[in-house]
Chains A and B, each alone.
Chain A
């Protein structure tokens, strides 16, 4: 069964143009065929005698999962071949550069690690939102489009909560790439989206240091070490890795999923706002954890049963990003208090919520006379002070809150752009004055934000005084 086609052959209307990859589990061809508006490839698994049974299952899994996904972060599926005849997948050829190319140059500068990591985390978040978990994230499975957007490929080991997990049955031993899989995957758990966050952490570690945090173990006992051991801190390998980046990387690599980022969106948020990362002992650490920590993790890994998990989307709902837009020029304490009350109620719902406090001011001159620059800096600081003052009664720990002064001519556009870029789940904004005419309302910041936001918006109106 399953003779591989020759160049020039036509299969179900697709002409084989060129073999571009031949791996252990399958072969990839560039093909031409019906016009779909983008270049396409055909993936054919190696099946039949002498070939690993794994390639049949991973083919089925990829077909199933890719069929359930959409958006710019996955290749578009064009056609599927009958598994009983010639099994194949025809999908979008993603133009860009493999993340592997950067790993080969590692260590690379922190800014580049953060930029690539944020793109990767954003792509992974989009996957999790669609109830899927990749479970085989590694540099060779990530393509960076020329515009900087990351695309995830190879879904042969993925899990999708809407479909039966064919791999759960087939392989009792852990599957995936040894250097990258999470401790839970080593234990055979396949439905925790935070496993992908661990794998992103391995990739970030590799980009920042040129090394793998847990090496490339060949045995199960070697794999199991990551259940309780933590890696050498990146700054112990490359001195120039900033503390904030080490904080982020080691948080991804926490052996216990609960200690990692609550969502890939929150990870992307930290990577795009290095100045807002709350650096803890983790970021400053010089060496690996001591015996008591190892023992606690060992106990958890070997004695405690894993907890029952829900759908990936329910996971994400427990760790949302909340944006509150504060118009600092209004100094109406009653209004500020109403905003705080609403935010407090929303924060109380989920303890992993991240709050981004934002104000928008007119653009300040980038370069000018020393006097002008000094004025600009003090302006920005003044705004930050006001934001912090507003947030102080909320008493949030530093790793759950951040402050941002955006400079823009049009505040609504700036807020919307920010919400989109950072996968914000909920915006809280003050209402325009109640005495506005309907026509006048259309031009207010909150109306524009509410009308065009990519997420839910709460418009706050203070109680009428007197």
Chain B
């Protein structure tokens, strides 16, 4: 089964549709959204409608910190631009969508995989899994062969064998990586809607469960349109600018 892994969509409709179209061409049979469906971008409603339809068809969806903030309005841990965007988003989304976001679990487990936005060690703390130590903690708490997460916005694969300390690997797009289940793997699948590694192309990954192979993809999308919408919505200029630079 081919499972498309999408993180940090951040209300970017152009990036999401580009990734979903690409995943469909690759034969995706199921989808997992690992948090932060909204925030930053200008299309929360359209994005939530797409995710909602996937949810109805059995997609895996977990909550991210921007999703939680959209529900409760608590932006104390956010920078000003992010907080402004949350404030704006809260005024856009319907009660029904707010309930959908509020009902999302922080962590989901399916067979040998765990899906979580931050760390499986403390999902509610929104920890950035950005080094081998945090990857080790998340893997240990998950007690599964695979952990798929987001939050960090840069694609990285951590893996462990005999020794406890995981090693990080920067995946090469479109090259399937054999991820044998006897080891433990933690994939930060990269961000669909706000890549931050200097490249504008949207990022997602595909897990082929039958072949135990994980492939990362970069999908070019119309970021000019996404940035334009951010500006015309009156959202902070910085949020439009970073889509144009991938930062």
Interface residues of A (CB under 8 A from B): 53, 57, 60, 63-64, 67-68, 83-84, 161-166, 168-170
- Rank and list the top 10 A-B pairs by shortest CB-CB distance, nearest first: A164-B169, A162-B175, A169-B167, A162-B172, A164-B159, A64-B178, A170-B161, A163-B177, A53-B162, A83-B182
Complex contact A83–B180 (CB within 8 A): yes
Complex contact B163–A170 (CB within 8 A): yes
A216, chain B: closest CB distance, angstroms:
28
Complex contact A84–B182 (CB within 8 A): yes
Complex contact A169–B161 (CB within 8 A): yes
Residue on A nearest B160 in the bound complex, by CB = A169
Q: Digitize B122-166: 1 where CB-to-A-CB distance is under 8 Å, 0 elsewhere.
A: 000000000000000000000000000000000001011111011
Residue in A53, A63, A67, A83 whose Cβ sees the most chain B Cβ within 10 Å: A83
Complex contact A67–B178 (CB within 8 A): yes
Complex contact B167–A164 (CB within 8 A): yes
> What is the CA–CA distance of A169 and B169 in the complex, to the nearest angstrom?
11
**Chain B residues with CB under 8 A of A164:** 157, 159, 167, 169, 177
B241, chain A: closest CB distance, angstroms:
29
**Chain A residues with CB under 8 A of B172:** 161-162
**Chain A residues with CB under 8 A of B160:** 169
> What is the CA–CA distance of A170 and B161 in the complex, to the nearest angstrom?
7
Complex contact A169–B159 (CB within 8 A): yes
Complex contact B169–A165 (CB within 8 A): yes
> What is the CA–CA distance of A168 and B178 in the complex, to the nearest angstrom?
16
> What is the CA–CA distance of A60 and B161 in the complex, to the nearest angstrom?
11
**Chain B residues with CB under 8 A of A57:** 161
Complex contact A162–B177 (CB within 8 A): yes
If A67-B178, A83-B180, A162-B175 touch, whether A168 touches B167 (CB-CB below 8 Å) is yes
> What is the CA–CA distance of A84 and B180 in the complex, to the nearest angstrom?
10
7 contacts between A and B (CB under 8 A): A57-B161, A64-B178, A83-B182, A162-B172, A163-B178, A164-B159, A166-B161
Residue in A166, A169, A170 whose Cβ sees the most chain B Cβ within 10 Å: A169
How many chain B residues touch A (Cβ–Cβ < 8 Å)? Answer: 17
**Chain A residues with CB under 8 A of B162:** 53, 170
A162-B177, A163-B178, A169-B167 given; 19 more Cβ-contact pairs under 8 Å: A57-B161, A64-B178, A67-B178, A83-B182, A84-B182, A161-B172, A163-B169, A164-B159, A164-B167, A164-B177, A165-B167, A168-B167, A169-B159, A169-B160, A169-B161, A169-B163, A170-B161, A170-B162, A170-B163
> What is the CA–CA distance of A68 and B165 in the complex, to the nearest angstrom?
26
**Chain B residues with CB under 8 A of A60:** 180
> What is the CA–CA distance of A166 and B166 in the complex, to the nearest angstrom?
10
Residue on B nearest A311 in the bound complex, by CB = B172
Complex contact B178–A63 (CB within 8 A): yes
**Chain A residues with CB under 8 A of B157:** 164
> What is the CA–CA distance of A60 and B177 in the complex, to the nearest angstrom?
12
Q: Digitize B177-194: 1 where CB-to-A-CB distance is under 8 Å, 0 elsewhere.
A: 110111000000000000
A89, chain B: closest CB distance, angstroms:
13
**Chain A residues with CB under 8 A of B165:** 169
A69, chain B: closest CB distance, angstroms:
13
B144, chain A: closest CB distance, angstroms:
16
> What is the CA–CA distance of A163 and B180 in the complex, to the nearest angstrom?
12
> What is the CA–CA distance of A63 and B180 in the complex, to the nearest angstrom?
11
A241, chain B: closest CB distance, angstroms:
42
**Chain B residues with CB under 8 A of A68:** 175
> What is the CA–CA distance of A78 and B149 in the complex, to the nearest angstrom?
35
Residue on B nearest A166 in the bound complex, by CB = B161
**Chain B residues with CB under 8 A of A83:** 180, 182
**Chain A residues with CB under 8 A of B166:** 169
> What is the CA–CA distance of A283 and B161 in the complex, to the nearest angstrom?
46
Residue on A nearest B180 in the bound complex, by CB = A83
> What is the CA–CA distance of A170 and B169 in the complex, to the nearest angstrom?
14
> What is the CA–CA distance of A90 and B76 in the complex, to the nearest angstrom?
58
B104, chain A: closest CB distance, angstroms:
31
> What is the CA–CA distance of A64 and B165 in the complex, to the nearest angstrom?
21
B18, chain A: closest CB distance, angstroms:
24
Residue on A nearest B132 in the bound complex, by CB = A169
> What is the CA–CA distance of A163 and B175 in the complex, to the nearest angstrom?
8
> What is the CA–CA distance of A168 and B172 in the complex, to the nearest angstrom?
18
> What is the CA–CA distance of A53 and B162 in the complex, to the nearest angstrom?
8
B219, chain A: closest CB distance, angstroms:
19
**Chain B residues with CB under 8 A of A170:** 161-163
**Chain A residues with CB under 8 A of B180:** 60, 83
**Chain A residues with CB under 8 A of B169:** 163-165
> What is the CA–CA distance of A63 and B166 in the complex, to the nearest angstrom?
21
**Chain B residues with CB under 8 A of A67:** 178
**Chain A residues with CB under 8 A of B167:** 164-165, 168-169
Residue on A nearest B181 in the bound complex, by CB = A84
Residue in A60, A161, A163 whose Cβ sees the most chain B Cβ within 10 Å: A163
**Chain B residues with CB under 8 A of A64:** 178
Residue on B nearest A172 in the bound complex, by CB = B163
